[in-house]
């Protein structure tokens, strides 16, 4: 397909064209990569922006139920919602946290919703680039809200935060004052903490958990991108549907404040620079993956292992002779 | 100085020549780097090997006291001992865990001991390379034992394990069954756990701590490089000098077994390959640090931030135009 043609279809909200484009950016083939870059460049000119919400929560907090309920509420308001996943662990297991659309049965049938599982890749860097570009494609396709889901595994939260406008941490009610082992670094990324399952017997525990996290958030260093009262902790029940509208109101208020105060644009620009830097580094290191480079590394490795050359000497030879000085 | 001359002095155990060579490998200057590589290559031919002992312990476990007591015991047996430090945190604080030789007053005055603080560098990769090369220099200078000290910060234990023949974890006696928050990954690296301060009032606690860790070690997956009974936990008192000779006997037994069974050579070869790979990656990424590359990145960054080009497009241009295709 012609890039212009394809791009126009995406801009017109054609779901098949969008799905194919996401498959394109997920591909490792060099010719696909060239096409993907042309397509992304074409779409860039439309300058469309969605509200990108990063959502982290470990298994068991009710993430699928939350996304389904929250997504249905948004589409009920006439908004178009895309759901993407960043799951570095899927590379290992072969599965995917969003592989099974039955997890969000109603939302996946909603014509104003678009659900896409995590690309399976061998490393987080690969997942990250593909996910970020999928977000860009969904923005071009005119989605109003993009939910970027991740499980709390290793660096995946950082990666998701770097492609989101807001970062939401979904937690389950829990006793004890250990704050459920949420790492300080994750807490510091959160704009909103939602304590899910605030219903039935768990309501008192949820109330206490919410108060605990609210207190913990107030102890963190004030960030310039936060208006009065943020970051904050709230209770929701995805199951009963309570608190969802309120949490969306809070998100919108935060977005509006950040837009008015220049933080929105500044963050978008910073994120673009972050990804530019990451792409350059990954592309440089990818030079080690060519068949020629692998063969040269293997030959030098034999000499290093045999003690015939120092690691530093072998590295210098590799760089000079096989990686263009 | 001529490289051959300098190298011969190091091989003859000249401490000033050794100290200057370590300063050379710590330098970032390109001409120093060329000299350093020539020197390391010259020394490689001597094929000298020390027993390299990685030693990790958080502040408060009595690491300095242990190194001093253990080092003095070794020099008392006529062995020559070098002590190096790998401390990524010193880059931030400007200080160094071994900056103050008064920490090991007696050992630092011992003519058979050589103490060198951690190089201050901006990142762990820099500290790692310089430390590894300092280890190589000390081996060439004929030291019998090299103690490579680190604090338990981030990845520093992994880095130290990759330049050591044995990895020793030094712990303080502590109550509770939480195993003092030692991460499983660190436990799995340990060949020997030494519970220090097994003296006076702390002796019962040390005994229990030692039993706890001994139990935890037995639960770990058996590694091919371990003879019967290893890894093991033992008690020492650096203050009273007890357990030191016994721990050294155990280390020697482990070394002997690994030498006899090919694990020693195999591990040395694997480590050389690891460092070769790391050096190549770091050298590739270092291409981004040249003034020309920085300028090109800055110019492209402006266009990325302004939305005139996608991060992927800018990365491709950077690679093709400024980093030799």
Q: pLDDT digit string (tens) for A234-283?
A: 999 999 999 999 999 999 999 999 999 999 999 999 999 999 999 999 98
Q: What is the pLDDT of residues A160-179, one digit of tens each?
A: 999 999 999 999 998 655 56
Name the CATH superfamily, with its identifier, for domain B48-261: P-loop containing nucleotide triphosphate hydrolases (3.40.50.300)
| CA separation for the pair B287, B295 (Å, rounded) | 12
A300 in contact with B at a CB cutoff of 8 Å? yes
pTM: predicted TM-score of the whole model, two decimal places: 0.80
Distance from the Cα of B237 to chain A's closest Cα (Å) equals: 34
Q: What is the reported pLDDT for A97?
A: 52
CA distance A213 to A228: 17
- Residue A180 has what pLDDT? 60
The pairing of beta strand A232-235 with beta strand B51-56: unpaired
Is the domain covering A1-46 a CATH 3.40.50.1100 domain? no
Closest-CA residue of chain A to B280: A315
With an 8 Å Cβ cutoff, are A319 and B283 in contact? yes
Q: Does B299 touch chain A (CB under 8 A)?
A: no
Contact indicator for B244, B76 with CB cutoff of 8 Å:
no
The per-residue DSSP string of B176-195 comes to: SSSGGG--HHHHHH-SEEEE
Residues of chain B with Cβ-Cβ distance to A319 below 8 Å are 280, 283-284
pLDDT band (50, 70, 90) for residue A126: confident
User: Is B323 within 8 Å of chain A by CB?
Assistant: yes
> What is the residue extent of each domain of chain A?
1-46, 48-261, 288-322
What is the widest separation between alpha-carbon atoms in chain A? 70
* Lowest mean pLDDT, pick from A97-101, A139-143, B175-179, B180-184: A97-101
Q: How much is the ipTM here?
A: 0.86
**For chain A, where are the alpha helices, taking DSSP H only?**
3-11, 15-26, 30-44, 63-76, 90-93, 105-109, 124-140, 156-161, 184-189, 203-219, 244-260, 263-286, 291-305, 311-317
B297 Cβ under 8 Å from any chain A Cβ: yes
Do B1-46 and B48-261 show the same overall fold?
no
Q: Is B275 on the interface with A (CB under 8 A)?
A: yes
Task: Return the pLDDT at A145.
Answer: 98
What are the start-end ranges of the H helices in chain B? 3-11, 15-26, 30-44, 63-76, 90-93, 105-109, 124-140, 156-161, 184-189, 203-219, 244-260, 263-286, 291-305, 311-317
Nearest by CB: B269 against A40, A305, A319:
A305
Per-residue confidence band for A314, with pLDDT thresholds at 50, 70 and 90: very high
Residue B303 with chain A: CB contacts under 8 Å: none
Say whether B280 and A318 touch across the interface (CB within 8 A): yes
């Amino acid at each position: 397909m012609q890039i212009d043609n394809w791009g126009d279809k995406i801009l017109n909200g054609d779901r098949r064209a969008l799905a194919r484009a996401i498959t394109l950016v997920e591909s490792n083939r060099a010719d696909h990569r060239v096409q993907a870059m042309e397509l992304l460049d074409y779409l860039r000119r439309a300058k469309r922006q969605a509200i990108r919400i990063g959502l982290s929560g470990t298994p068991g907090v009710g993430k699928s139920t939350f996304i389904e309920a929250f997504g249905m509420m948004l589409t009920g308001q006439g908004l178009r919602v895309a759901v993407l996943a960043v799951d570095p662990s899927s590379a290992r297991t072969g599965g995917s946290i969003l592989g099974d659309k039955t997890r969000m049965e109603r939302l996946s049938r909603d014509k104003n919703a678009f659900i896409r599982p995590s690309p399976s890749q061998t490393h987080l860097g690969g997942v990250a680039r593909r996910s970020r570009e999928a977000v860009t494609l969904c923005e071009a396709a005119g989605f109003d809200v993009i939910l970027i889901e991740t499980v709390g595994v290793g660096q995946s939260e950082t990666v998701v935060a770097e492609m989101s406008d807001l970062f939401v941490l979904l937690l389950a009610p829990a006793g004890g004052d250990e704050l459920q082992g949420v790492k300080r670094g994750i807490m510091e990324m959160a704009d909103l903490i939602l304590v899910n399952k605030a219903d039935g017997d768990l309501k008192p525990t949820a109330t206490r958990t919410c108060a605990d996290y609210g207190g913990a958030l107030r102890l963190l260093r004030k960030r310039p991108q936060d208006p009065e009262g943020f970051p904050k902790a709230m209770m929701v029940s995805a199951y009963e549907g309570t608190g969802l509208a309120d949490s969306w109101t809070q998100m919108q208020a935060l977005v509006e404040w950040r837009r008015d105060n220049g933080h929105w644009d500044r963050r978008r620009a910073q994120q673009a620079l972050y990804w530019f830097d990451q792409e350059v580094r990954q592309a440089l290191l990818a030079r080690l993956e060519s068949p020629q480079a692998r063969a040269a590394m293997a030959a030098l490795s034999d000499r290093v292992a045999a003690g015939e050359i120092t690691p530093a000497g072998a590295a210098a030879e590799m760089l000079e002779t096989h990686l263009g000085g």
